[in-house]
Structure 1
Amino acid sequence: MTRLVLIDGSSYLFRAYHALPKLSNDLGEPTGALFGVVNMLRGHLKEQPDLLAFVVDASGPTFRDDLYAEYKANRPPMPEDLRAQVEPMMQIVEALGIPVLRVSGVEADDVIGTLALQAAEQGIEVTISTGDKDFAQLVRPGVRLVNTMSGSVLDSDAAVEAKFGVKAAQIVDYLALMGDSVDNVPGVDKCGPKTAAKWLGQYGDLDTVMARADDIGGKIGENLRAALDRLPLSRQLVTIKTDVELGQGPQDLARREPQRDELIALYSRYGFNQALRELTGEGPAGKPTATRPAAMDERPDPAMAVKGQYHCVVDLDTFNVWLDRLAKADAFAFDCETDALDAMQANLVGLSFAIECGEAIYIPLQHRYPGAPTQLAAETVLGALKPLLENPAIGKIGQHGKYDLHVLRRHGIDVQGYRDDSMLASFVWHSAGLRHDMDTLAKRFLGYDTIKFEDVCGKGARQISFADVDLEQATAYAAEDADITLRLNQVFKRKLEGEPGLEKVYRDIEMPLVEVLTRMEANGVLIDAEELRRQTRDLSKRGLQVQEQAYAVAGRKFNLDSTKQLQALLYDELGLPVLVKTPKGQPSTNEDALEAIADQHELPRLILEHRSMAKLRSTYTEKLPEMINTDTGRVHTSYNQAGAATGRLSSTDPNLQNIPIRTEDGRRIRTAFIAPEGRRIVACDYSQIELRIMAHLSEDPGLMAAFESGQDVHRATAAEVFGVPLEQVDSGQRRAAKAINFGLMYGMGAFTLAQQLGIKRGEAQDYIALYFRRYPGVQRFMEGARMQAHQYGYVETVFGRRLHLMEINSRRHAQRAGAERAAINAPMQGSAADIIKLAMRSVHDWLIPHADKAMMIMQVHDELVFEVDTDFVDTLLPEVKQRMQAAVKLRVPLVVDAGVGVNWDEAH
């Protein structure tokens, strides 16, 4: 079918102007609104419509001005920085070969309305691209509205009614009743959307509402009666004309041949690097390529919300029937029920399986409550399932399946063919603003309310073990888990297939990592418990000393852990300035607040020191010995793939990511991570990986040259910024350059830089300005990242992972500014996370035949840690370094530093 796209150019220019930040190109020309419109146009052109037009208002009065002299009288003049973007917009539209329509005496709405109805009558499929609600009156079979900024679609009466509460045919009356303050269309005073929809739902149309005005009571009824004389005019003003004399029809709106050279010149001038790259095949990489973010508001398929048929398998004949079905399946979902949350200690209570959506089984193995039916022997069931679960040709599907893989491994089954994980699919689809547990995903994507664990086991002190749950309840809960996992997998499979870039991240990065992490967690790390106990005693002793010092400085005793007492002491008694406040406006005593005033009095520093030692003691030196697994004698952390929105791994029980390395006490904790006799700890760490990714993404020649030459990049930056020979760079200049290099990646401004360097804010601003003059590509990248985040709602890593920024268009400045800072840093941090994940898989594969000589035991930030036979270290080091450096080819080389020692600190 022929497709026509009618673009409401005037609407989009204004909407883009108000939605996007006030951006400018290198010449200082405003580009924010222009950027938004150009990206919208590129999105439509990618869909390759047969016909399209860019419709804008002509200058001069229209017939509505003749009807009502005050029409649009309240509108302020167009802002100068917006007016300056109109002509460039028209130049780009013309160069793209898109027909432009301006018709005197009417508005763009009327031109679009006329063409839309003409096209629909000719059997042409019409899309009106607009954010203007007035166009909802045109929705009918063959005519739909698409808002490319929000991603919303109105394509039926039901969709219009769901959004506005009235049908498309009632929209004109709906608008007339409410009026429009922007266009100065008079309506009924105090009549909002709900009231207008209520009246039209009750009376059907405006004429009937007017006729029954006396039936409506209260102040709003008085307002309606006062407006009766002007409502017919209001209806005329908001009605889109559909019979404008145009001199051309829909079939005349074919796209002309684009003017490539003109587009290159325009895109280059206004800094539209992504558009330029698509046009020429060159330019900065790592930018979004989709036209809008993955939608979070999809309506679940009602078929997916139907309750399933679940069976409890307690006899051998039924089990064998299902065993045969599982053996013949291409893939099946599975789930383990256990008696503990710790996968390294949990005992298997039962297993559930699903092959087709809506049907599942539960095989109980160890339910032990009084009167529990006889269950199949665990040895029999696991022995029969082992060949299937270890067959890589049969796909296995799970929800946070790493837990289940650990449980089954401990019960003698090494699962192969783990093909899909609904938690990871959800995380790749939309990492931020969404929990990825089964209950949440089922509700959002299936419209299904799951049975909760607390529903069957209770909670708190009265919670029972799953082994004590009766089989009827256990079956309903456990079989549902397998069924819902299978349903979610089908939903996310369809979603990811529609986004090849995201599917590649899921298939090539996240799913292969499950096996790697499972093995690494099972390996665990050896801990010197006695060393940690010595550190605990030392920290306790020194903590008491610091506490006494604090008492002496304060002139009295006080509770160092009491917020109320600290507020009174620091701010009331000592009169220190309040530089940080709590959300409720109270003087803060958190770490940031104390750091801010630590240079003004000794007491805040002592409190920080006391807190640091107490935290190290409670989090690590006291806790780690208690976490040693009694079966293995090692500590087994749990890595979370779906934790940080950037894709970075986090770890719990214990959290290895937060062990401080910049303090002597933090490094001492690492000395307790040891190698057994005859082995060594090897640590391999990416050097300045995020800064290298910045060089890659920005393509700044100066920054790339520093890395390509193998120079000290901070010294090279200092030489560039301060205009001195490399050999004359002093330590202060290098320190300033290092602060800028790393700070800019986190959106640091002059105020923070000034604090870090102990200089005036104006001087810090001069440093940043010098930096951007020397590295203009970095500034362009940063501005581009912000713009793309505002337009798409996300930025991307080098590999296409989307990093969603939920607050990027927030009305609250602090939230919006935080999201803009994240937009700059997230591509670097997310790309670094993806790179080390790829490296882990490569190293893991190489280690498989050498499992008796070496094993990967930890991943922390940009570092991989191994436990290696002493005589195998020289073999491992070059192999691991080569695989880490070859994980991806960037425009600058990746460098890996490595160390060897009897403990982690010595190797680092």
Structure 2
Amino acid sequence: MTRLVLIDGSSYLYRAFHALPPLTNSAGEPTGALFGVVNMLRATLKERPDHIAFVVDAPGKTFRDDLYPQYKANRPPMPDELRAQVQPMCEIVHALGIDILRVEGVEADDVIGTLAVRAADAGMEVTISTSDKDFAQLVREPGVGGGSVALVNTMSGSRMDSDAAVAEKFGVPAARIVDLLALMGDAVDNVPGVDKCGPKTAAKWLGQYGSLDGVMGNAAAIKGKIGENLRAALERLPLNRTLVTIKTDVALECTPQSLRLREPHVDDLRALYTRYGFNQALKELEAGSVAAGAGIAAVAEKEPGRARSSGFVAAQVAVPEGLDPALATPGRYEAVTEAGHLEAWIAVLRNAGRFAFDTETDSLDPMRANLVGLSFAAEPGRAAYVPLGHDYPGAPPQLDRARALDLLRPLLEDASVAKLGQHGKYDLHVMRRHGVALAGYADDTLLESFVLESGNARHDMDSLARRHLGYETKKYEEVAGKGAKQIPFSQVSVEDATFYAAEDADITLRLHRVLAPRLAAEPALEAVYRDIEMPLVPVLERIEANGVKVDVDELRRQSADLSRRMLAAQQRATELAGRAFNLDSPKQLCALLFEELKLPALVKTPKGQPSTNEEALEAIADQHELPRVILEYRGLAKLRGTYTDKLPEMVDPDTGRVHTSYHQAGAATGRLSSSDPNLQNIPIRTEDGRRIRRAFVAPPGRKLVACDYSQIELRIMAHLSQDAGLLRAFESGADIHRATAAEVFGRPLEEVTANERRAAKAINFGLMYGMGAFGLARQLGIGRGQAQDYIALYFSRYPGVRDYMERTREQAREHGYVETVSGRRLYLEYIRGGTQAQRAGAERAAINAPMQGTAADIIKRAMVEVDGWLAGQRDASGRSPALMILQVHDELVFEADEAFVPALLEGVGERMVSAARLTVPLVVDSGVGDNWDEAH
């Protein structure tokens, strides 16, 4: 029988990209997806198909977009690293002699469906190479005089070629797959199904009532909340069915018989394989094997277009589909060096009602940066730069900085005129330090991107411009140089600075025009952005500016003590080893621990070598004293290097304080992180960590006040799971770990032992972080079987927690993300694929992320409320009796006049408790002291 293979190009592309590590060739070009496709296509071509085609989506809208404008509206853009591999894949596929098919107005699925049905009707054996579940509707068993259609996942090796195979996976035969998908919906394509209806529920209904029409006709008979959800969705289910049905009647210029595998272009393949380092494929090619090839195509990239403006070349990459061309073309930028010109621009900006702005300075440290210039944009493609501090020989005349800021101040301090920026917290700092209290900061493209795509690690302007505008921005190194030869921005020519700076404001405005509508289409996400993230920006700027006083002499005393103890640890390690060695050398440690002392290498590096990291040393610390001594040495060295030696160097000479920087887009869960210095990781459970906190002090006449949410993530677990036992324990105000121990071990509260409480605490927190029996056993020092018994007992007493965990995993697999109570989305890259370890990690994250993310949302809301309240406590001179100076995990730290401490405790506690409405009460623990340790 003649064989036809139809390759789902998009499936190949993304599966290879997400399944493999970020590989690169010798030139640093990304090759991970290419390499994966090489292997998949080699496997396909070794089967020697008679006919083959590589099918991808054509650019532009399809009939489904006309039927449902929100179709695929939430699909994230292609990652930059993947985009760079698209064109090489097209070239490789073409060189292999495989036809690449694109048909406007329909999706690749419809082209594949049409070819598959026509080929099967003509008696051909059709294989669709894909991982897309939608294609299950096309599976056809061989019939008398007819062909067949089978699905093959080349990466996993699975095959689906019969109704029995389809039913085993989905619970329904191929003929009912469309009905199943219509009920479930498709989160990837933004097709909403029946709320809370997963594959099992949909399959059960179809088994009972035969078809989607049967389910709809019997909707009134289905009881409970899920029945209400079904009835609420009845109007859209017929449209769902149309959207998920693969067309099989597309008008095509080719026939299945015309898609013959051609002879490969050997010279082209040789060049491509050599460039990308595909050595095995190259060997097979040189040996004459047709199956040596590999490649993929998705969307043919356009040739980079370039346009000149203000003496600079602005590079463009492929313009994203559907983007307004005005948002992807080079702009017109001008330097403003006269007062009249600046006043004209101020009028333009005021009339616009909303404009983008950016600052240029001579330092990355906002507490020390001097303003060199300002840029503005009120419409895409038109922007201005106001140079204020370019002082190189021959620099053109510029406006006096004080005069320019006087002209700009009424506009910048007018809250009725909206301003937007990219990472605008830095610019707020700079303007405050130069006497401008910028008001009306309404939008930040970094935060818009972060809320929409929290799973994406890159939210910088250059990456966003590339991802959303297909635009390559001018880099700082291109105007200022790099390395030892880099010059400060004040030395950059005004002409060069004008293009660079004005482009920043222009691109920020363009990005907002793209991202804002996407947020508006997601009301829950827009609420997170508007109600939590944006109000927090000026709050964080004030906290950073306040800073915290540190006792430098105390830190130096601690450094000296840590050095003495490190030396003692080195000496003890030498005694135990019987010879001198470098405790900081992993290579020497490996040789000593695993070769000389013959200790077991229980933890390996990604390359399979014995590891000497903390986990590895902890694993063998009970077998020899040396690993424990090395861990002690490392802990002391980390504290000294990170804190006691570094913090004195970070004291600002102008303020005498340490000013950390907070990052809103640093963690996908929404947790704040900090840097320069990082105050989130000071150990709290060790005496040495608490000693470091003692160096954070209050000035004379003031106290430090710490307010900390008590067991907030466990309370959120109780709220999310609605487990009766947990709710009862929190509502009674009992010690939650003692109450858990009493439940698990079946004894009265007063009889719970310290060890039982410790075990319950480990279970409570461990389950939130996805800990299994192995981890619990190691933490408690008990057998794995006993640990499993503890977990089973826990779930028997708290069945709501088990149900929540199972429900959350299923929802994560169905939608690809989980949500916080506030509606923040936490995307899980490997929840549906990747390695077993990656999927397990994604499932653990699915359980914990809603709790961590909700806790983050709550404390952010509290910070905004507390900041507003503190603003109302200022006296006539503007002095505040208290300052918010730190946020660490679930804790807020304040510096306050001694007389104001009681009012502060009451005011802050009230606002922290009311920052969320959970089923269980929030509780805040507070402390007061002369230093942070005393207050904690």
**TM-score band w.r.t. shorter chain:** 0.7 to 0.9
Give 1:861's match in structure 2, choosing from 889, 895, 905.
889
Matches within 5 A, 1:289-368: 300-368=323-391
Helix, strand or coil at the partner of 1:355:
strand
Counterparts of 1:328 and 1:56 in 2: how far apart (Å)? 54
Q: Deviations over 1:809-848 (max 9, x none)?
A: 2231111111111010000000000000000011001100
The question of whether the paired residues in 2 share the 8 Å contact of 1:313 and 1:364 is answered with yes
Q: Deviations over 1:21-72 (max 9, x none)?
A: xxxxxxxxxxxxxxxxxxxxxxx99999xxxxxx99999998x612148776
The question of whether the paired residues in 1 share the 8 Å contact of 2:605 and 2:611 is answered with yes
Matched, 1:876 2:899: no
Matches within 5 A, 1:136-535: 137-139=248-250, 169-170=252-253, 173=256, 300-535=323-558
Match of 1:78 in 2: 165
Counterparts of 1:461 and 1:60 in 2: how far apart (Å)? 63
Counterparts of 2:468 and 2:507 in 1: how far apart (Å)? 11
Counterparts of 1:578 and 1:523 in 2: how far apart (Å)? 48
Note the aligned Cα RMSD (angstroms).
Answer: 3.0
Task: Summarize the Cα distance change of 1:687–1:130 in structure 2 as closer, same or farther, 3 Å threshold.
Answer: same
Helix, strand or coil at the partner of 2:708:
strand
Amino acid aligned to 1:78: A
Deviation at 1:92, TM superposition (A): 2.2
Counterparts of 2:201 and 2:165 in 1: how far apart (Å)? 16
Task: Summarize the Cα distance change of 1:531–1:96 in structure 2 as closer, same or farther, 3 Å threshold.
Answer: farther
Matched, 1:768 2:791: yes
The question of whether the paired residues in 1 share the 8 Å contact of 2:543 and 2:886 is answered with yes
Match of 2:144 in 1: 66
Match of 2:846 in 1: 823
Deviation at 1:375, TM superposition (A): 0.4
Counterparts of 1:827 and 1:614 in 2: how far apart (Å)? 35
Deviation at 1:798, TM superposition (A): 0.3
Give 1:670's match in structure 2, choosing from 682, 687, 693.
693
Amino acid aligned to 1:905: D
Counterparts of 2:590 and 2:393 in 1: how far apart (Å)? 57
Task: Summarize the Cα distance change of 1:298–1:651 in structure 2 as closer, same or farther, 3 Å threshold.
Answer: farther
Counterparts of 2:163 and 2:511 in 1: how far apart (Å)? 50
Amino acid aligned to 1:649: L
Match of 2:914 in 1: 886
Amino acid aligned to 1:169: L
Match of 2:719 in 1: 696
Match of 1:639 in 2: 662
Counterparts of 2:744 and 2:69 in 1: how far apart (Å)? 42
Amino acid aligned to 1:656: L
Deviation at 1:595, TM superposition (A): 1.1
Helix, strand or coil at the partner of 1:99:
helix
Counterparts of 2:363 and 2:139 in 1: how far apart (Å)? 75
Amino acid aligned to 1:811: G
Give 1:812's match in structure 2, choosing from 805, 820, 835.
835
Amino acid aligned to 1:884: M
Amino acid aligned to 1:92: W
Match of 2:99 in 1: none
Counterparts of 1:887 and 1:795 in 2: how far apart (Å)? 22
The question of whether the paired residues in 2 share the 8 Å contact of 1:300 and 1:444 is answered with no
Q: Deviations over 1:582-627 (max 9, x none)?
A: 0111000011111111111110111011011111111100100110
Matched, 1:571 2:654: no
Structure 2 residue runs without a partner (length 5+): 1-66, 72-133, 151-159, 174-199, 216-237, 270-287, 292-318, 875-879
Match of 1:34 in 2: none
Give 1:588's match in structure 2, choosing from 584, 599, 611.
611
Counterparts of 1:706 and 1:756 in 2: how far apart (Å)? 25
Counterparts of 2:857 and 2:881 in 1: how far apart (Å)? 27
Task: Summarize the Cα distance change of 1:57–1:70 in structure 2 as closer, same or farther, 3 Å threshold.
Answer: closer
Helix, strand or coil at the partner of 2:574:
helix
Counterparts of 1:57 and 1:691 in 2: how far apart (Å)? 42
Task: Summarize the Cα distance change of 1:846–1:83 in structure 2 as closer, same or farther, 3 Å threshold.
Answer: closer
Counterparts of 1:298 and 1:431 in 2: how far apart (Å)? 22
Residues 858-867 or 712-721, more deviating: 712-721
The question of whether the paired residues in 2 share the 8 Å contact of 1:190 and 1:220 is answered with no
Amino acid aligned to 1:530: D
Helix, strand or coil at the partner of 2:359:
strand
Residues 406-415 or 425-434, more deviating: 425-434
Matched, 1:758 2:786: no
The question of whether the paired residues in 1 share the 8 Å contact of 2:812 and 2:846 is answered with yes
Helix, strand or coil at the partner of 2:571:
helix
Q: Deviations over 1:510-539 (max 9, x none)?
A: 000001101111100001000000000000
The question of whether the paired residues in 1 share the 8 Å contact of 2:320 and 2:468 is answered with no
Counterparts of 1:820 and 1:364 in 2: how far apart (Å)? 52
Structure 1 residue runs without a partner (length 5+): 1-43, 49-54, 102-123, 140-167, 179-187, 199-217, 222-295
The question of whether the paired residues in 2 share the 8 Å contact of 1:298 and 1:445 is answered with no
Matches within 5 A, 1:702-781: 702-781=725-804
Counterparts of 1:444 and 1:340 in 2: how far apart (Å)? 28
Counterparts of 1:46 and 1:92 in 2: how far apart (Å)? 29
Match of 1:215 in 2: none
Matched, 1:98 2:227: no
Matches within 5 A, 1:649-664: 649-664=672-687
Amino acid aligned to 1:99: D
Counterparts of 1:334 and 1:531 in 2: how far apart (Å)? 43
Q: Deviations over 1:253-302 (max 9, x none)?
A: xxxxxxxxxxxxxxxxxxxxxxxxxxxxxxxxxxxxxxxxxxx9976444
Q: Deviations over 1:428-454 (max 9, x none)?
A: 001112400000000000111100111
Counterparts of 2:788 and 2:240 in 1: how far apart (Å)? 52
Match of 1:240 in 2: none
Counterparts of 1:463 and 1:219 in 2: how far apart (Å)? 51
Counterparts of 1:564 and 1:303 in 2: how far apart (Å)? 56
Helix, strand or coil at the partner of 1:850:
coil
Helix, strand or coil at the partner of 2:632:
helix
Amino acid aligned to 2:883: M
Helix, strand or coil at the partner of 1:66:
coil
Task: Summarize the Cα distance change of 1:365–1:70 in structure 2 as closer, same or farther, 3 Å threshold.
Answer: closer
Helix, strand or coil at the partner of 2:635:
helix
Deviation at 1:576, TM superposition (A): 1.0
Helix, strand or coil at the partner of 1:867:
strand
Task: Summarize the Cα distance change of 1:537–1:297 in structure 2 as closer, same or farther, 3 Å threshold.
Answer: farther
Task: Summarize the Cα distance change of 1:604–1:76 in structure 2 as closer, same or farther, 3 Å threshold.
Answer: farther
Residues 727-736 or 91-100, more deviating: 91-100
TM-score (norm 2): 0.71
Task: Summarize the Cα distance change of 1:299–1:777 in structure 2 as closer, same or farther, 3 Å threshold.
Answer: farther
The question of whether the paired residues in 2 share the 8 Å contact of 1:858 and 1:865 is answered with yes
Q: Percent identity?
A: 60
Task: Summarize the Cα distance change of 1:447–1:84 in structure 2 as closer, same or farther, 3 Å threshold.
Answer: closer
Matched, 1:841 2:835: no
Task: Summarize the Cα distance change of 1:425–1:57 in structure 2 as closer, same or farther, 3 Å threshold.
Answer: closer
Q: How many residues align?
A: 699
Matched, 1:904 2:927: no
The question of whether the paired residues in 2 share the 8 Å contact of 1:137 and 1:169 is answered with no
Deviation at 1:130, TM superposition (A): 4.1
Counterparts of 1:819 and 1:896 in 2: how far apart (Å)? 31
